[in-house]
Chains A and B, each alone.
Chain A
Amino acid sequence: MRSDPVVQVRALVKRYGEKTAVDGLDLTARAGVTAVLGPNGAGKTTTIETCEGYRKPDEGTVRVLGLDPIREATALRPRIGVMLQSGGVYSGARADEMLRHVAKLHAHPLDVDALIERLGLGSCGRTTYRRLSGGQQQRLALAMAVVGRPELVFLDEPTAGLDPQARRATWDLVRDLRADGVSVILTTHYMDEAEQLADDVAIIDAGRVIARGTPEELCRGGAENTLGFTGRPALDVASLLKALPADSTAVELTPGVYRVTGKVDPQLLATVTSWCAQHGVMPDRISVERHTLEDVFLELTGKELRS
């Protein structure tokens, strides 16, 4: 699975007039699900659209499945599926009609009826696109991206504005795609979406990748994870600290309330509980607080709102 990169972006620069949207961006996506995360205006869509062949890089190179998205577009297009952020459908077309049409442009499409049922588009009936709900329009766009049985799917904010059920349905489909060997590049600003789905995450800000790794690696990066428990007051904290790995801390915050910080992993939890067992302490309310991707994201991109 983790062989040649499906997407390789090197030193990409893209300007729109005075504004530099992408500023020397490097991104390597391997097979599996890669989430591109970033605040609005970070350059996510520009990067994705350059991979899809819509935009010509001002500088740098882009390879998708080993191909140049513009010069080798004819070879590339049948192999990728694209979900745009919005639109893409004749306003007078019905959902099933449009999906069947996209299927007809491919040699071995999915079973359209099964896909319609899977994504709950059957209820659209004879309604034309412009009268579908936002969620229905989005699921149709997703279906259009996968119906041609591509090797690689680009999803630009696939769940923006969806209700929780539709969001789950989208996530389930992404997981099934991955399980069947389809690679997925998705942009999102939902942290939980990246945490749930992605093998790899690239955080983009101001046109550059500022952090990347698996969701676990990124969350571990801050090293400010904590483990708390309550027990009887005035335990021998110094003795506990000796049992812990070198870079840990252990304090009694208030009588009977303890906090351990450090690399919180199963081993650390076992060390703490076995220390408690040796000292005849029943640790109550053990809680582990790990960094979420959201914390990492806010730490990296700043907490102020951007326009």
Chain B
Amino acid sequence: MTTGTYTPRPGAASLPRMIAAQAALETKMLLRNGEQLLLTIVIPTLLLVLFGSVDIVDTGEGKAVDFLAPGILALAVMSTAFTGQAIATGFERRYGVLKRLAVSPLPRWGLMTAKTLSVLVTEVLQVVLLTVIAFAMGWSPQGNPVAVLLLLILGTAAFSGLGLLMAGTLKAEATLAAANLVFLLLLVGGGVVVPLDKFPDAAQSVLGLLPIAALSDGLRDVLQHGAGMPWGDLGILAVWAVLGLGAAARFFRWE
């Protein structure tokens, strides 16, 4: 290099360019990570195929796939927005990535926007893959696509808030363990593959308030039963989103 190479010429790139670059990198990191792929792609796909083709759980009347597909879509949202995001962000915090980015020209809200974009890109990939598989298994969805979109977005917001709250307050190892445990518990008790009415009445009313239950129930109402706007479930998700994102904004520690 010749003289003058390092002559100062500071300046931030434009915000859209920074956010796009950050979102692209975050998505690339996620798709490169084996454990993340297992969580976001392999497990939902396997569950859909397995429970859809083998009669393990009594899914009520109608085709099994019509019951399963909405639940698996809800699971996909949870795996990316909650479990995947919590684990990735927890380790970014632990390894000083968040600390280093905090002194880069990218503002914090820009980083959070990029993370959200990366989650949404991943979810689009998941939804496309799972929808194709479900159609191949004879899925016949109904209902209003706008209601579906609204449920997916509010669900993403609710799970993101909870995932970031965990990542920003616990140690990375604790986040890893807790996020996987919660994923497993909600998979079983959140109406994803096991209908909630298999649980006792008292448990049902509590479980029904979980974000995963609201999301899978709302998606099922629309996609399986052709309901209109599932306001109750949207309301539950909205409350979780406000609480989760609010708490994350309040308690998140960057180091």
Chain A residues in contact with chain B, CB under 8 A? 52-54, 74, 77-80, 82, 84, 86-93, 97, 101-102, 104-108, 110, 114, 118, 144, 146, 148-151, 176-177, 179-182
Contact = CB atoms under 8 A, between A and B. Distances in A.
Interface string B44-78: 00000000000000000000000000000000000
B145 interface: no
A182 B11 contact: no
Contact of B100 (A92, A144, A148): A144
Contacts, number: 118
A80 B6 contact: no
Interface string B151-194: 00000000000000000000000000000000000000000000
Given A102-B104, A105-B106, A181-B7, A176 B29 contact: no
B10 A79 contact: yes
Interface string B20-40: 011001001100110000000
B146 interface: no
B136 interface: no
Contacts of A180: 3-8
A148 B1 CA distance: 16
Interface string B94-126: 011101101111110000000000000000000
A67 to B, nearest CB: 12
Contacts of B21: 101, 104-105
A105 B5 contact: no
B30 to A, nearest CB: 9
B97 A114 contact: no
A177 B95 CA distance: 28
A87 B104 contact: no
A14 B161 CA distance: 32
Given A105-B13, A106-B12, A149-B10, A82 B100 contact: yes
A54 B12 contact: no
Contacts of A53: 102-103
A102 B101 CA distance: 9
B6 A77 contact: no
**Which secondary structure characterizes the binding site on chain A?**
loop
Contacts of B28: 97
Given A106-B12, A150-B10, A151-B8, A89 B103 contact: no
A108 B95 contact: no
A107 B13 CA distance: 4
A78 B10 contact: yes
Contact of A106 (B91, B99, B102, B105): B105
A87 B97 contact: yes
A149 B18 contact: no
A87 B95 contact: yes
A168 to B, nearest CB: 16
B8 A105 contact: no
A151 B1 CA distance: 18
B11 A108 contact: yes
A74 B107 contact: yes
A90 B25 contact: yes
A104 B18 contact: yes
Q: Which 3 A-B pairs have the closest CB atoms?
A: A87-B96, A107-B11, A88-B100
A105 B18 contact: yes
B40 to A, nearest CB: 15
B9 interface: yes
A182 B102 CA distance: 22
Given A86-B96, A87-B97, A92-B29, A77 B103 contact: yes
A150 B12 CA distance: 10
Given A74-B107, A88-B100, A149 B13 contact: no
Contacts of B97: 87-90
B225 interface: no
A176 B8 contact: no
B17 interface: yes
A306 B106 CA distance: 39
Nearest to B91: A91
Contacts of A80: 103
B71 to A, nearest CB: 30
Contacts of A97: 25, 28
Given A92-B33, A176-B6, A180-B7, 4 more contacts: A88-B95, A90-B29, A90-B97, A101-B22
Contacts of A118: 1
Given A82-B100, A91-B91, A149-B6, A77 B25 contact: no
Contacts of A84: 96, 99-100
A101 B25 contact: yes
A80 B12 CA distance: 11
Given A53-B103, A90-B29, A105-B105, A179 B12 contact: no
Contacts of A92: 29, 32-33
Given A90-B92, A91-B91, A182 B12 contact: no
Contacts of B25: 90, 93, 97, 101
Contacts of A90: 25, 29, 92, 95, 97
B1 A106 contact: no
A182 B6 contact: yes
Q: Which has the most chain A C-beta neighbours within 10 Å: B8, B17, B255?
A: B8
